[in-house]
Protein backbone atom coordinates (compact mmCIF):
# COMPACT_ATOMS: atom_id res chain seq x y z
CA UNK A 1 0.00 0.00 0.00
CA UNK A 2 1.27 3.44 -0.94
CA UNK A 3 0.64 6.20 1.57
CA UNK A 4 0.82 9.77 0.28
CA UNK A 5 2.45 12.13 2.75
CA UNK A 6 1.25 15.72 2.28
CA UNK A 7 2.97 18.96 3.29
CA UNK A 8 6.42 17.46 3.66
CA UNK A 9 8.19 20.58 2.29
CA UNK A 10 9.08 21.96 5.72
CA UNK A 11 10.88 18.77 6.65
CA UNK A 12 13.36 18.60 3.79
CA UNK A 13 13.96 22.30 2.99
CA UNK A 14 14.48 21.89 -0.73
CA UNK A 15 15.56 25.27 -2.16
CA UNK A 16 14.12 26.93 -5.27
CA UNK A 17 13.87 26.30 -8.16
CA UNK A 18 13.40 22.76 -6.84
CA UNK A 19 10.27 21.63 -5.05
CA UNK A 20 8.73 18.41 -3.75
CA UNK A 21 6.14 17.10 -6.16
CA UNK A 22 5.04 14.20 -3.97
CA UNK A 23 6.17 11.97 -1.16
CA UNK A 24 5.10 8.38 -0.65
CA UNK A 25 5.65 5.73 1.94
CA UNK A 26 5.56 2.25 0.43
CA UNK A 27 4.31 -0.06 3.15
CA UNK A 28 5.17 -3.23 1.21
CA UNK A 29 8.67 -2.15 0.17
CA UNK A 30 9.23 -0.41 3.51
CA UNK A 31 10.71 2.75 2.05
CA UNK A 32 9.90 6.41 1.52
CA UNK A 33 10.27 8.05 -1.88
CA UNK A 34 10.42 11.80 -2.32
CA UNK A 35 9.88 13.03 -5.88
CA UNK A 36 11.43 16.38 -6.70
CA UNK A 37 10.93 18.66 -9.69
CA UNK A 38 12.41 21.94 -10.83
CA UNK A 39 10.31 24.86 -12.03
CA UNK A 40 9.89 25.40 -15.75
CA UNK A 41 12.26 28.06 -17.09
CA UNK A 42 14.55 27.46 -14.10
CA UNK A 43 18.14 28.64 -14.48
CA UNK A 44 21.09 26.90 -12.86
CA UNK A 45 24.74 27.69 -12.28
CA UNK A 46 27.17 25.85 -14.55
CA UNK A 47 28.64 22.97 -12.55
CA UNK A 48 31.91 23.39 -14.45
CA UNK A 49 32.82 27.08 -14.17
CA UNK A 50 30.09 28.30 -11.80
CA UNK A 51 28.61 30.86 -14.19
CA UNK A 52 25.13 31.71 -12.91
CA UNK A 53 21.76 31.57 -14.65
CA UNK A 54 22.32 29.02 -17.39
CA UNK A 55 19.22 27.57 -19.11
CA UNK A 56 18.44 23.86 -19.14
CA UNK A 57 19.77 22.11 -22.24
CA UNK A 58 18.20 18.70 -21.69
CA UNK A 59 17.54 15.98 -19.13
CA UNK A 60 20.47 13.63 -18.50
CA UNK A 61 18.53 11.18 -16.34
CA UNK A 62 14.75 11.00 -16.04
CA UNK A 63 14.72 9.20 -12.70
CA UNK A 64 17.95 9.68 -10.85
CA UNK A 65 17.82 8.54 -7.24
CA UNK A 66 19.77 9.70 -4.20
CA UNK A 67 19.85 7.80 -0.94
CA UNK A 68 18.82 9.91 2.04
CA UNK A 69 18.97 9.13 5.75
CA UNK A 70 16.49 6.66 7.14
CA UNK A 71 13.09 7.58 8.45
CA UNK A 72 12.99 5.32 11.53
CA UNK A 73 14.26 2.04 10.04
CA UNK A 74 13.00 2.85 6.54
CA UNK A 75 15.29 4.18 3.81
CA UNK A 76 14.40 7.40 2.04
CA UNK A 77 15.17 7.99 -1.62
CA UNK A 78 15.05 11.31 -3.44
CA UNK A 79 14.11 11.10 -7.11
CA UNK A 80 14.40 13.79 -9.77
CA UNK A 81 14.97 14.45 -13.41
CA UNK A 82 18.58 15.57 -13.58
CA UNK A 83 18.96 18.50 -16.00
CA UNK A 84 22.06 19.60 -17.89
CA UNK A 85 22.97 23.14 -18.86
CA UNK A 86 24.89 24.38 -21.89
CA UNK A 87 27.10 27.05 -20.41
CA UNK A 88 27.38 30.42 -22.15
CA UNK A 89 30.74 30.89 -20.45
CA UNK A 90 32.78 27.70 -20.78
CA UNK A 91 30.59 26.11 -23.48
CA UNK A 92 30.33 22.75 -21.75
CA UNK A 93 27.13 20.73 -21.35
CA UNK A 94 27.07 19.43 -17.77
CA UNK A 95 24.66 18.07 -15.21
CA UNK A 96 23.67 20.70 -12.67
CA UNK A 97 24.73 20.32 -9.06
CA UNK A 98 21.60 19.44 -7.11
CA UNK A 99 21.47 21.02 -3.64
CA UNK A 100 20.74 17.79 -1.77
CA UNK A 101 23.71 15.75 -3.08
CA UNK A 102 26.67 15.41 -0.74
CA UNK A 103 28.95 16.31 -3.67
CA UNK A 104 28.64 16.47 -7.48
CA UNK A 105 27.62 13.13 -8.99
CA UNK A 106 27.17 11.56 -5.55
CA UNK A 107 24.28 9.22 -4.96
CA UNK A 108 23.83 10.43 -1.39
CA UNK A 109 22.21 13.50 0.09
CA UNK A 110 23.76 16.22 2.22
CA UNK A 111 24.07 15.29 5.91
CA UNK A 112 23.54 18.90 7.05
CA UNK A 113 20.08 18.92 5.50
CA UNK A 114 19.12 16.19 7.93
CA UNK A 115 19.55 18.27 11.08
CA UNK A 116 16.04 19.64 10.79
CA UNK A 117 14.79 16.17 9.89
CA UNK A 118 16.13 14.69 13.12
CA UNK A 119 14.83 17.54 15.24
CA UNK A 120 11.38 17.17 13.77
CA UNK A 121 11.14 13.41 13.57
CA UNK A 122 8.14 13.40 15.93
CA UNK A 123 6.24 15.56 13.47
CA UNK A 124 7.11 13.15 10.65
CA UNK A 125 6.02 10.17 12.69
CA UNK A 126 2.64 11.80 13.30
CA UNK A 127 2.20 12.26 9.56
CA UNK A 128 2.65 8.55 8.98
CA UNK A 129 0.28 7.33 11.68
Q: How many CB atoms neighbour CB 119 within 10 A?
A: 9
Looking at the Cβ atoms of 47 and 109, the one nearer to Zn ion is 47
Task: Give the residue with the Cβ less far from Zn ion, 89 or 111.
Answer: 89
Shortest Cβ 70–Zn ion spacing (Å): 36
Please give the Cα distance from 43 to 17 (Å, whole number): 8
Footprint (CB under 5 A) of Zn ion, residues 31-60:
46, 48-49, 51
Q: How far is the CB of 58 from Zn ion (least distance, A)?
A: 16
Which residue number, 85 or 109, has a Cβ lying nearer to Zn ion?
85
Distance of closest approach, residue 88 Cβ to Zn ion, in angstroms: 8
Is residue 90 a contact point for Zn ion (CB under 5 A)?
Answer: yes
Nearest-angstrom CA–CA distance, 36 and 69? 16
Spatial separation of the C-alpha atoms in residues 30 and 40, rounded to whole Å: 32
Output the CA–CA distances (angstroms, integers) from residue 89 to 18, 43, 59, 83, 85, in the order listed: 23, 14, 20, 18, 11
Contact residues: Zn ion, CB under 5 A: 46, 48-49, 51, 87, 89-90
Amino acid sequence: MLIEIPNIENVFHIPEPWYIDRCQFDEKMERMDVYLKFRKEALFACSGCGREAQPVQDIADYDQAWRHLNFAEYPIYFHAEHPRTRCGGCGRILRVNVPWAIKPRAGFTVPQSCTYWRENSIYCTILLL
